[in-house]
Structure 1
Amino acid sequence: MPERTLMVTNDFPPREGGIEVFAYEMARRLAGPDGAGVTVLTSGRRGGTAGESPERFDRRQPFEVVRVDTGMLLPTPKVARRAAALAAERGCTRVVFGAAAPLGLMAGRLRRDGGVRRIVGLTHGHEAWWARLPGTRQALRRIGDGADHLTYIGGYTRDAIAPALSPAARERMVRLAPGVDTGLFRPGGDPSQVRDRYGLGEGPVVLSASRLVPRKGVDALIQSMPWVRARFPHARLLVVGDGPDRERLRRLAEWTGVGEAVVFAGPVAHGSMPPYYAAADLFAMPCRTRRLGFEAEGLGIVFLEAAASGLPVLAGSSGGAPETVAHGRTGYVVDGGDAEEVAGRIIQVVGAEPAAKVMGEAGRKRVEHAWTWEGAAERLESLLAD
């Protein structure tokens, strides 16, 4: 009988986000054809940005999802006991922590009381700042020592996390990059669905999709629009997402004089994003590092989904984001603090349609070659089977 896996994660749909997507895609592939290969233990109070309740989401899944009645899953004694009991009850001999910090601190309890033999902790980006602070750095070292493997999504996260680990745990680090559903995110969609809904017209459309926080650089996109509109008067910026920076960004668009050119679409469910990519001429998220390096982009699945959809990509030079773009071939890496540079690259892409199409095609091929969920799932399975 195949071994069963317990995934313990605070980040899981219907909540929206890159870690949530990563955890879900790994869970559904570990589940196997009958769904019996995995049980997911996650938090239960918060629904997704698209409004679906956790209960409704869970009923649609072919695998078991167990919710703890809390808004955030933390490695408390109570949660650790629940995780160990669930592993023992379901016969789970393997554990995946959807985000290693801080849940990986439960590894010892799971081995001792849950009968778990193999543990893999996934890291994404927030562990990079854990590695820089004395208290969290010590916790991260414990997490690394308690796991058979810690994974990293790219060179930036590896280089940031590795110094905090013991030499033995450092040797056990393995790259496990996220992937893209290239069947869902693909070129050739109907642009009229979204263009008509938001009255975008026939001019160039720059798409940005993210949580609306300063680090994502949407303000730089808004500030770039006067330059872009001077060259392309009918250009529009379509902003997908929500967050605490939303009202500031709305005011900035009005103050900059491009209020009519910036469309805030609000939150959109992950699976509903393809028509938005189809409506765009390029994707841009000029993310930037803030707060002395403690806020940086881990990688950015959204860049990969845009590339898979056939769009040129503008990525900020923060953290691991540049790893998602082959600069000059599939898009450009820009300084998210320089709106004029951002504008120049947008104008360059929009003004050269044949070259932009070639960039989009190259981005799609790059994703198909190196950023697939199938490849990531195979890699994770091999780590759990070692």
Structure 2
Amino acid sequence: MRIALVSRRYPPLIGGAEKVLSYLAPALADLGHEVAVLTARPPGPDVPGVEPVPTRAGSCTVRRLATSRLRFVGTWRYMNNLRERLEADPPDLAYVSMLKHDAYVAVEVGRRLGFPVVLRPEGAGATGDLSWQSWGNFGRKIGERTKQADAIVAISKAVEDELRDAGYDRSKIHRLPNGVPVPEPSWRRRDGWRDAPRAAFVGRLAPEKGLDTLIEAWPIVRRSFPAAHLTIYGEGPEGPTLGAGVGKLGLGDAITFAGPTVDPTAALRDADLFVLPSREEGMSVALLEAMALGIPVVASSIPGNRRVVSDFKDGRLAPVDDPEGLARVVVEQWTEFDRAFHMSRAARKKVEGSYSVSTMARQHDGLFRSLASARGG
């Protein structure tokens, strides 16, 4: 099949959704498909307009469409260029990230030219796609259009529930979880780690990630492990506020803001624990990547995290918005490190079996082929 994978944001821009799509595109090509990633071209002379992606079979090409730095002008220009591209070279199927402007364009062109369109909401809750449709510019109009898609992929139960509550056709909703690569070799504990244990967070610096709770928990962690260090990888709107909080608590020597990383696996190999204190998650890519690597994890006990982490089986779950509770679980993971290590091996096996990128690609392949067959493709 000729598949157009549409996402306004794509690497080198970094985020959970962008990473999942960058994993999925070549994996679909490896199944024999011809994949064209259509995305907005970020500013900068070093970003090519067309870029082939290495694959073992099929083909995968990233095509970056012209846009603008101006907010509304950029959206209009991207939508117009996306429409022209889909019209000039119609795919057998379009798969679109987020229920926003590019989904609006793809559904309209797909209905007119006869190719199926599959949409993929990237989140739930206050920061999710359906919430945006309630307040974003033209959000309600876009919402009515996206309900006309041929299928909707729900990455979590929370996303699925929101789609149903918003009136999306239940027969069109398909639960397909995220998938990540399973790196080799797996994570290994460092010699002498107890003298100065290291924890890491990878993700967006945004309110829903609960990093304020993690920072407030760190002085409590250091009562048990005085040299414990936390490295926060990522960028986002909460960066200055979080930095100020670290300063007020006098934790400048204990917490480092390392900025975004294009290689979270390498970053986590230098750590002794991955911590995700989120208040909201659909299905965290960073959490899956940590589990796939096999590093011990602590995650907040919210529905999206409980979907992949079973407490005391393949990781630990901590209370939400509770610095003392979070600190207690972090300390327990390091105090009972042999137990944490065994849980991390179980987590890696879980990802290999249910959340690997190859599993995700096969599940999408089955859905895409069934839709194309129904259209007579």
The residue correspondences of 1:225-374 to structure 2 (distance < 5 A) are: 225-269=218-262, 272-288=263-279, 296-318=280-302, 320-374=304-358
Cα contact 1:10–1:73 (8 A) shared by 2: no
Cα contact 1:120–1:151 (8 A) shared by 2: yes
The residue correspondences of 1:91-130 to structure 2 (distance < 5 A) are: 91-113=90-112, 115-125=113-123, 126-130=128-132
Query: Which amino acid in 1 is paired with 2:159?
Result: T
DSSP-derived class of the 2:299 partner: strand
DSSP-derived class of the 1:174 partner: strand
Q: Distance in 2 between matches of 1:316 and 1:337?
A: 8
1:218 is aligned to 2:211: yes
The aligned residue for residue 143 of structure 2 is: 140
How far apart are 1:20 and its partner, in Å?
0.5
Cα contact 1:311–1:359 (8 A) shared by 2: no
Cα contact 2:38–2:65 (8 A) shared by 1: yes
The aligned residue for residue 12 of structure 2 is: 14
Q: Distance in 2 between matches of 1:5 and 1:60?
A: 14
**Which deviations, in whole Å up to 9, do the C-alpha atoms of 1:333-360 show, x marking residues without a partner?**
2233110111010111110011111111
Cα contact 1:178–1:376 (8 A) shared by 2: yes
Q: Are the structure 2 counterparts of residues 338 and 370 from structure 1 closer, same or farther at C-alpha, using a change threshold of 3 Å?
A: same
Query: Which amino acid in 2 is paired with 1:65?
Result: V
How far apart are 1:367 and its partner, in Å?
0.8
DSSP-derived class of the 2:253 partner: helix
Query: Which amino acid in 1 is paired with 2:27?
Result: R
DSSP-derived class of the 1:259 partner: coil
DSSP-derived class of the 1:181 partner: coil
Cα contact 2:8–2:39 (8 A) shared by 1: yes
Q: Are the structure 2 counterparts of residues 95 and 337 from structure 1 closer, same or farther at C-alpha, using a change threshold of 3 Å?
A: same
Q: Percent identity?
A: 26
DSSP-derived class of the 1:274 partner: helix
Q: Distance in 2 between matches of 1:266 and 1:162?
A: 37
C-alpha RMSD over aligned residues: 3.0
Q: Distance in 2 between matches of 1:103 and 1:74?
A: 14
Q: Are the structure 2 counterparts of residues 201 and 333 from structure 1 closer, same or farther at C-alpha, using a change threshold of 3 Å?
A: closer
Normalized against structure 1, the TM-score is what? 0.83
How far apart are 1:322 and its partner, in Å?
2.7
How far apart are 1:44 and its partner, in Å?
0.7
Query: Which amino acid in 2 is paired with 1:273?
Result: P
Aligned residues: 359
DSSP-derived class of the 1:97 partner: strand
How far apart are 1:306 and its partner, in Å?
0.7
Q: Are the structure 2 counterparts of residues 108 and 365 from structure 1 closer, same or farther at C-alpha, using a change threshold of 3 Å?
A: closer
Q: Distance in 1 between matches of 2:73 and 2:20?
A: 19
How far apart are 1:330 and its partner, in Å?
1.7
The runs of 5 or more residues in structure 2 that have no matched partner are: 371-377
The runs of 5 or more residues in structure 1 that have no matched partner are: 289-295
Q: Distance in 2 between matches of 1:136 and 1:215?
A: 22
The residue correspondences of 1:67-216 to structure 2 (distance < 5 A) are: 67-70=64-67, 79=78, 82-113=81-112, 115-125=113-123, 126-130=128-132, 136=139, 139-145=142-148, 147-166=149-168, 169-183=169-183, 186-188=185-187, 202-216=195-209
DSSP-derived class of the 2:283 partner: coil
The aligned residue for residue 293 of structure 1 is: none
DSSP-derived class of the 1:38 partner: strand
Q: Given the alignment, which residue of 25, 35, 44 partners 1:38?
A: 35
Q: Distance in 1 between matches of 2:150 and 2:287?
A: 30
Q: Distance in 2 between matches of 1:109 and 1:225?
A: 50
How far apart are 1:19 and its partner, in Å?
0.7
Q: Distance in 2 between matches of 1:57 and 1:306?
A: 31
How far apart are 1:215 and its partner, in Å?
2.0
Q: Are the structure 2 counterparts of residues 221 and 248 from structure 1 closer, same or farther at C-alpha, using a change threshold of 3 Å?
A: same
The aligned residue for residue 379 of structure 1 is: 363
**Which deviations, in whole Å up to 9, do the C-alpha atoms of 1:354-373 show, x marking residues without a partner?**
11111111111111111011
How far apart are 1:91 and its partner, in Å?
4.6
Q: Are the structure 2 counterparts of residues 128 and 76 from structure 1 closer, same or farther at C-alpha, using a change threshold of 3 Å?
A: closer
Q: Given the alignment, which residue of 25, 28, 40 partners 1:27?
A: 25
